[in-house]
Amino acid sequence: MRDDSARRVRWFPSAVIVLLLAVLATGTAVNLHLNPQPQLVAEGITGRSGPAGIEPPVDSADLARPELIRDALADLDALTLPDGATLAGWDGPWRYVWPRDASFVAAARCSVGQYAEADKVLGFLNRTRPSSGRWGARYSAPEGKEVADGREPQLDGSGWVLWATWFCAETKLRTAGRSGVEAATPPAGQPLAEYWAMVKESGDQIVAELGDDDLPAASPDYWERPESDVTLGTIAPLITGLRSGLKIAAALDRSTEVATWQHALDRLSRATDETFGPDYPRTPAEAVSFVEPGIEPIGIGGAADAIVTVLGPPFAPARDVVTAAIESTFEALTQPNGGVTPGEQWRTDGVSWTPQTALFALSAAARGDRSTAQELLAWLNSHRTATGSLPEKVNRDLKPAGEAPLAWTTALVVLTASALDHPLPVP
């Protein structure tokens, strides 16, 4: 009888390789079917005009930053209606005002000295604010009515609005100080007293949300989905908001709110460290592993989230444990295409989201990590659309995707460039 064992040995590896390639091809096809490549909704806003009388931040060592910021400010001009309603995007489902996005736009404008434009944005928020309860997910423009589309109110809006209001007031005071005006005398147009009702309602709502565990109830956050557990996406903005609200209340001699909000801030901060530390994932870790004395504990479960950046500068003072969490989260969320995904529990499709990429850029710039900030700005700059707008996403093929321009990303890029030029105020 003929012995075919040698022949089988020769062809067996080839057969295995062919089978593995077939499995990989099938898996790729299934993944592309389940997670198709996102496409670009629009190239940007045609016929836009650049901002008048504003010199963008300039640093000769930083790429084409002047052009990037000039185009970004022009897009913010185009997205902002005459009454201050700032659209998240120009098209369809983005053509509404999110308190989160609008707050960042106001802060970005103040960071480059566009105070009148920022006041319009804050003024719109002030007119549409909820008299009690959480901010709506989004509002119609220019009517300013909460959109009844099934989205739940979102608690993080209270934190963002407080931060933006304080950030602009503080930036104005710093500008006045640099120009020789007495710092105690607010420059013309600083409307802290005008915004006090909005500030008080937002601060009080945060306090009212804290439960027996000193944490707020579950709420949708920037992921725009119902949540069964409280997330860092809600908590981090609330800590920043209470810090900011305290400074506003102190400036306006509101002693009752100072005492109440300080107590709430202490409770919330302590509970956040105890429940989310040391890694500060999206949801509380299932357990914390203590290896041995002298070794930092490691959180197990919870999954990384880009919102950890809001626990550090320019939203809160720097802390070593938070810096370590930001850096490890950035490493975990960076995609093969060079950008960042919102979180480990997000879709595993290899697509990068520009707001989260820009959040890490802003965090790096505010913490003094210029090289990382510049690298991320360069990446964002190189993936703009043909009209120069910053898109919502960059797909696996390194092509812009989603809505363009996106207000949140655009504002974050302006803030990052400003942070590279001068320190931003930290509540």
Tens digit of pLDDT for each residue in 288-311?
Answer: 555 555 555 665 667 999 999 999
If the chain, 427 residues long, is cut into consecutive pieces of 10 residues, what is the mean pLDDT of each piece?
A: 52 57 49 72 71 43 74 96 96 95 98 96 96 91 92 95 97 73 40 90 97 96 94 98 97 96 98 95 76 58 92 98 98 97 94 98 98 96 95 96 97 98 96
Q: What is the pLDDT of residues 198-218, one digit of tens each?
A: 999 999 999 999 999 999 999
Enter the pTM of the model: 0.87
List Cα–Cα distances, 267 to 209, 214, 262, 273, in angstroms: 12, 6, 9, 10
Give which of 381, 383, 341 is closest to 359, Cα–Cα: 341
Q: Does an H or E element contain 393, and which? A: strand 393-394
424 contacts: CB under 8 Å, gap ≥ 6: 111, 167, 313, 314, 366, 415, 418
List Cα–Cα distances, 410 to 85, 355, 417, in angstroms: 16, 8, 11
Give which of 183, 199, 188 is closest to 103, Cα–Cα: 199
Mind listing the domains of the chain with CATH numbers? 63-421 (1.50.10.10)
Give which of 107, 407, 419, 109 is closest to 237, Cα–Cα: 107
pLDDT of 299: 59
- Please give the radius of gyration of the chain, using alpha carbons only, rounded to the nearest integer: 24
57 upstream amide cis, omega within 30 of 0: no
List Cα–Cα distances, 208 to 155, 242, 249, 254, 261, in angstroms: 11, 12, 17, 18, 10
Residue 330 pairs with which residues in a beta bridge? none
pLDDT of 426: 98
pLDDT of 50: 44
142 upstream amide cis, omega within 30 of 0: yes
- CA dist 211 and 226 (Å) reads 19
116 contacts: CB under 8 Å, gap ≥ 6: 189
Q: Does an H or E element contain 289, and which? A: strand 287-289
CA angle 103, 105, 109 (to 5 degrees): 120
Q: Note the Cα 374 to chain centre separation in Å.
A: 18
pLDDT of 12: 52
Residue 401 pairs with which residues in a beta bridge? 393
pLDDT of 419: 97
pLDDT of 45: 83
Write the DSSP string, 118-162: HHHHHHHHHHH--SSSPBPS-B-TTT-PBP-SSPPPBTHHHHHHH
Number of neighbours of residue 53 by Cβ within 10 angstroms? 6
Number of neighbours of residue 245 by Cβ within 10 angstroms? 32
Which two structure tokens, joined as six digits, stand for 314? 């320019």
Longest CA pairwise span in the chain (Å): 105
The pair phi, psi for residue 298, each rounded to 5°, is -125, 130
